[in-house]
Amino acid sequence: MLRHWARLRRGLPCFVTPRNRAQGTIPPTGVPQRFSHKLQGNSPAWLVTSEKSKDWAVPNPSWSQEMMIQFNRFMEMTKDGRWRKLPSYRSYSDHLPEGLQKEELQSQKRRLFLRNIDREGMGFEYAMFMNLSEKRVAAVFQMGPYLEGPSGFTHGGAIATVLDSMVGSSVFSVSRRIVTANLNINYRSPVALGSVVLVDSRVDKIEGRKFFASGEMRSTDGQTLHAEATGLFIELQPQKETDSSSSP
């Protein structure tokens, strides 16, 4: 595990991929252009890129200097093709291929929980990256002031939300037809509001329809373990998934 964090923490140059595909650098305090992230050949269907919706997993003026540094380190890791940045839209329906999008899911009132705050920087600011061959999803998160629990620190429920989303995303990289059966979280150290953390998640084992996965949240220098989680996910059988989607 330490070698994974060492790779994420390497001092890499600031690098991002502009929409015009020209390579360039962005200073940590700069305002970047929009990004384009296309599917790779073996990517699951749920990782579809929408041309109509805004990708919120890109820098905005609320991002701190540390957030920009970590984001650019992750972007550097995408250059060899093993890692790719995941788009993040406001609605679940925007993550579905056009043929699977349902009209009732396209309501403007629907929001993914991590994207349910309109003001930039006040809630969850994040970008996720996937390594499909390793069944891993890693991310950089900035915890906004609307996530307060104890005075000056992030609410434990917000930390649980991050870990639930990350561990689930690593399983989604293998199978989209899964539900959470169990999630255990150990809190190790509080997370100050406004701080930036790194989250790493992975699929540890697959037994038939059972997926065992885990994840952890650390400080950007890798020295402080804030929280860790383990989860059990069950892959739905096709008939059960159909029945569930058709029920009122």
Q: Encoding tokens for residue 151?
A: 């005075």
Q: Could you tell me if 57 and 104 are in contact, meaning their C-beta atoms sit under 8 angstroms apart?
A: no
| Nearest alpha-carbon partner for 70 in 81, 80, 82, 57 | 57
- Helix orientation angle between 2-9 and 65-77, rounded to the nearest 10 degrees: 110
**164: annotated active-site residue:** yes
Query: How confident is the prediction along the chain (248 residues), in pLDDT tens digits per residue?
Result: 444 444 444 443 333 333 333 333 344 444 443 333 333 334 443 455 555 678 899 999 999 999 999 999 999 999 999 999 999 887 665 655 554 444 555 555 677 888 888 899 999 999 999 999 999 999 999 999 999 999 999 999 999 999 999 999 999 888 878 889 999 999 999 999 999 999 999 999 999 999 999 999 999 999 999 999 999 999 988 764 444 444 44
3-state secondary structure 76-145: HHHHHCCCEECCCCCCHHHHCCHHHCCHHHHCCCCCCHHHCCCCCCCCEEEEEEEEHHHCEEEEEEEECH
Q: Could you tell me if 140 and 70 are in contact, meaning their C-beta atoms sit under 8 angstroms apart?
A: yes
The predicted pLDDT at position 184 comes to 97
Task: Give the integer Cα–Cα distance in Å for 7 and 169.
Answer: 21
Task: Give the integer Cα–Cα distance in Å for 18 and 4.
Answer: 27
Catalytic residue among 164, 204, 221, 243: 164
Q: What are phi and psi of 168, to 5 degrees?
A: -65, -35
Q: Where are the domains of the chain?
A: 65-235
CATH code of the domain occupying 65-235: 3.10.129.10
**Three-state secondary-structure class, residue 22:** coil
